[in-house]
Structure 1
Amino acid sequence: MNPGEELKQVAARPLSFGQTIRAVAWSFFGVRKGSEHEADMAKLNPVHVIIAGVIGAALFVLLLVLLVRWVISSGVAG
């Protein structure tokens, strides 16, 4: 099998983007059963995983920035 065919086959994996986001969200928390992780790895679309990871990281950074701004403006930090 040539690399182009293999890439097409991997990109056509069956999990939806919503299911991929759920799997990535659980991985951010670090709470996964080994069997569920293995099952997801066989079905996840790598392109969806990358997009979901970037979105999750951006939301996490945004949440931290908003939390820090709120703490500073409330006078708790001072």
Structure 2
Amino acid sequence: MSFGQTVRAVAWSFFGVRKGAEHEADMAKLNPVHVIIAGVIGAALFVLTLVALVRWVIASGVAS
């Protein structure tokens, strides 16, 4: 599988919406190194998005 396909599989796994047959097919083809890299990038993007959202809410005065 290409790195793009791995990113897609990891993204779906973040949401937890994978069918059993698709999951099994992906597990047979995925490169473990690509999965780790895509997972770390996905987690970092998720955390950065949450930090940006919190900063925006605090700056807007909604949290006061």
State the TM-score bracket (shorter-chain normalisation). Answer: over 0.9
2:7 corresponds in structure 1 to 21
Larger Rg: 1
Query: When the two structures are superposed, what TM-score results if normalisation uses the length of structure 1?
Result: 0.81
Structure 2 partner of 1:46: 32
Structure 1 residue 71: deviation in Å? 0.4
Supply the distance in 2 between the matched residues of 1:71 and 1:31 (Cα, whole angstroms). 29
1:62 alignment partner, one of 14, 36, 48: 48
Q: Provide the C-alpha distance between the structure 1 equivalents of 2:62 and 2:2, rounded to a whole number of angstroms.
A: 43
Question: CA RMSD, aligned part only?
Answer: 0.4
Structure 1 Cα separation of the partners of residues 46 and 38 of structure 2: 12
Task: Determine which of 16, 23, 30 is the counterpart of 2:16.
Answer: 30
TM-superposed deviation, 1:66: 0.1
Cα distance in 1 for residues equivalent to 2:12 and 2:62: 31
Moved over 6 A (4+): none
Q: Structure 2: any 5+ residue segments left out of the alignment? A: none
Letter in 1 for 2:4: G
Which structure 1 residue ranges, 5 or more long, are not aligned?
1-14
Deviation at 1:53, TM superposition (A): 0.2
Count the aligned residue pairs: 64
